[in-house]
């Protein structure tokens, strides 16, 4: 099975890159399952229902989020209507929406997707490790799920690496999100779990984390807000990772970065390109 994860979508330029490129990528590489982190899709803060529908129509099977999930107040209502929109599973009990789901891939495989938020330098949510453990006990790899993908939305690389090793051999992939900068540590861990500290963002990199540079610079230089943050509108780089899954074990055979368009160096997964 082939899985694609696309990192945090930031504003209109990030959405446009996905809408333009994802359908062709799915067809060209015969991708079975796509997860997109959409928590910054609406002007850089949260996600709206029309934007969610755009991402799903473009080819996302599941849209994950993070600490900005409820920045758009309407999300508190519509998230209950969409099983394919997840928020961090370790939010307090009673929070609208859900943080995990079992979804059917194009290949027919059942994929468990977990959306989890870290606690280091972030809001003090419930323990992400215990939350993940509960889900793995309830829906184990090759017991009820053919593959398990974890979007770990966290600030600290150490916490992300700890999660990777915590579930190594029990999940297909742990993909870090939130910091918006793609890391170079994509690897298959010793027991077979694919890992990367951050998949990067789908947004304009002539920016500060996807935002127009002027306002963040103003705040760093003066500590005085002069206006609102606004997404940069230049050409976006589509950032993510491709994962090749062993159908027998549900573990990863390979992981590689995907970067298309915009300012960053371009790369596509060699283990797919050779067969496309």
Long-range interactions of 126-135: CB distance < 8 A, separation 24+ = 126/90, 126/91, 126/92, 127/90, 128/90, 128/152, 128/154, 128/159, 128/163, 129/162, 129/163, 129/166, 131/89, 131/90, 131/99, 132/89, 132/163, 132/166, 132/167, 135/89, 135/100
Is residue 135 within 8 Å of residue 144, measured between CB atoms?
A: no
Phi and psi angles of residue 93, each rounded to the nearest 5 degrees, phi first: -55, 140
Q: Clarify whether 68 is annotated catalytic.
A: yes
Burial of 137 (0-12, 13-18, 19+ CB in 10 A): exposed
To 10 degrees, what angle do helices 157-167 and 128-138 make?
Answer: 20
Tell me how far the alpha carbon of residue 103 is from its chain's centroid: 16
Phi and psi angles of residue 165, each rounded to the nearest 5 degrees, phi first: -75, -30
Contacts of 53 (CB under 8 A, 6+ apart): none
Q: Which residues are catalytic?
A: 68
């Amino acid at each position: 099975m082939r899985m694609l994860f696309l990192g945090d979508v930031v504003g209109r330029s990030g959405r446009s890159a996905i809408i333009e490129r994802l359908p062709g990528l799915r067809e060209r590489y015969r991708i079975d399952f796509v997860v997109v982190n959409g928590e910054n899709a609406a002007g850089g803060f949260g996600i709206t229902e029309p934007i969610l529908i755009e991402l799903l129509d473009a080819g996302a099977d599941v849209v994950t989020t993070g600490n900005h999930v409820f920045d758009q107040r309407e999300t508190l209502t519509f998230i209950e209507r969409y099983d394919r929109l997840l928020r961090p599973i370790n939010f307090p009990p009673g929070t609208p929406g859900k943080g995990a789901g079992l979804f059917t891939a194009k290949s027919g495989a059942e994929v468990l997707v977990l959306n989890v938020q870290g606690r280091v330098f972030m809001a003090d949510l419930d323990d992400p490790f215990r939350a993940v453990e509960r889900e793995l006990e309830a829906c184990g790899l090759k017991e009820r799920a053919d593959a398990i993908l974890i979007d770990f939305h966290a600030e600290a690389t150490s916490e992300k690496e700890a999660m990777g090793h915590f579930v190594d051999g029990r999940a297909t992939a742990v993909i870090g999100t939130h910091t918006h900068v793609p890391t170079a540590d994509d690897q298959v861990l010793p027991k077979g779990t694919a890992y990367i500290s951050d998949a990067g963002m789908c947004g304009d990199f002539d920016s500060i984390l996807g935002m127009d540079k002027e306002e963040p610079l103003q705040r760093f230089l003066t500590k005085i807000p002069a206006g609102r943050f606004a997404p940069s509108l230049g050409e976006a780089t589509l950032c993510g990772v491709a994962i090749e899954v062993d159908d027998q074990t549900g573990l990863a055979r390979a992981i590689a970065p995907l970067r298309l368009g915009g300012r960053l160096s371009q790369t596509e997964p060699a283990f797919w390109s050779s067969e496309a």
